[in-house]
Amino acid sequence: MLASADALVSGIEYGTTPDGSFQVLPEAERAPALDEGTTYHLVALFDVGVPVTSCLFTYGEAIGGAAPDAGNVDPSVCESAATFGSTCTTDDDCTCGAASYCAIMPGQSEGFCTATGCVEDSSVCPAEWSCFDLSSFSPGAPSFCLEP
């Protein structure tokens, strides 16, 4: 990203270089197609060299595991179960209704309980939360509500 450029919007497509951005490798050619089953190193920087993320991912594999089926949640456990934003290490920690998915960012050991399916229905997210679509990185992965 050039220092003089406006901020980029979320959802940049792999292999593109929007106005105000640049690609380091390869310098002069389009980025190669990703191969399913291959592990890649993703680095994203904020401003001038401040890392936002640096992680490994395997293209085509679900990130964070498959989304749980909220229809199979036992309502009797909801009184003491985790809700939106509660700390979790697996989906089993998020056993109550809408917030039944444990979103763990790559490289982290714990995440937060949240809901899936926000691309299809934005009302599943609490006010001020945004929707993050994992399928942009891993086909078939869920979208989920992202903490503000």
Q: What is the pLDDT of residue 135?
A: 79
In-domain check, residue 36: no
In-domain check, residue 89: yes
Mean pLDDT confidence for 134-142:
79
Question: Which of the four pLDDT bands, split at 50, 70 and 90, describes residue 45?
Answer: low
Give the total number of structural domains in the chain: 1
In-domain check, residue 141: yes
In-domain check, residue 31: no
In-domain check, residue 54: no
In-domain check, residue 25: no
In-domain check, residue 134: yes
CA-wise closest residue to 85 among 148, 30, 13:
148
Tell me the two tokens of residue 95.
């056993």
Q: What is the pLDDT of residue 62?
A: 72
- Tell whether pTM > 0.85: no
Report whether 51 contacts 44 (CB < 8 A): yes
Mean pLDDT confidence for 12-38:
80
The domain in which residue 119 lies consists of 70-146
In-domain check, residue 11: no
